[in-house]
Chains A and B, each alone.
Chain A
Amino acid sequence: MTETLAQIMIHPLSLSRWQQMLLLLPLCLTISVVYKTTKCADLREVPLAALVSWVTIVVGMYAVGAALLLLSEWAM
């Protein structure tokens, strides 16, 4: 078990473009959860608040990415 975990941490992954884009999701989830945990007085509010925040960040980031892609395609 420990050996397997160590091997996972030592050797880097080879990621496709789609996998790279999908890795935005867990990072945004962590940011949302940590941020909302500091903000919410009652921890029962955290899941819903974090979900709303997560969706907002993800949609916003992909929209910015898509806009930049279109701009770069247009500029080329």
Chain B
Amino acid sequence: MAATEPELRVPIAGLLGWLLPGAGHLFIGDRARGIIFITAIAVTFWGGVAIGGVKGTVDPGKRKLWFLGQICAGSHALAALAWSNHIPGPPQDDPSSLIAYNRAEEISVVYTAICGMLNILVIFDVLVRAEKGPAVTAQRGPPGKARGAST
């Protein structure tokens, strides 16, 4: 897949990177990095959902701005949203069984939104690596440091 035309390589890598965080890196052939991103973002996103419950965590009607952050995590947020919509509203006798009325809900929203923000970083990273090509990608150092600098 790394042999795709350069004009298509960058947008496809970016789109895949949004759809499944880390998949863009797999697409350009940077497998180890891709696996790290897939694992780190998926575990943190669904760990956040587990803290606050899916119904209260992903709620675009109640928390629009937070949802903008969450949706940057791509398929994770879409799956959580679909699942949240699928679950009926909380029962009248015990609403706290589905909705957290304490800090757990806030923590879960922060966890999932930060995953989305991290995925923006990952998408920018894959866009740069895809544009430079596989040979340069492997040698790319941290931004701001020239290769071969003595300090």
Contact = CB atoms under 8 A, between A and B. Distances in A.
Chain B interface: which size bin? 35 or more
B121 A12 contact: no
A28 to B, nearest CB: 10
A9 B33 contact: no
A74 to B, nearest CB: 24
Given A33-B40, A34-B118, A39 B51 contact: no
Contacts, number: 89
A44 B47 CA distance: 26
B51 A12 contact: yes
Contact of B118 (A13, A23, A30): A30
Interface string A13-36: 111000010010011001101110
A38 interface: yes
Nearest to A34: B118
Chain A interface: which size bin? 20 to 34
Contacts of A46: 36
B132 to A, nearest CB: 12
- Name the prevailing secondary structure of the B interface residues: helix
B40 A41 contact: no
A15 to B, nearest CB: 5
Interface of A: 8-15, 20, 23, 26-27, 30-31, 33-35, 37-41, 43, 46
A23 B114 contact: no
B41 A11 contact: no
Given A11-B98, A34-B121, A27 B53 contact: no
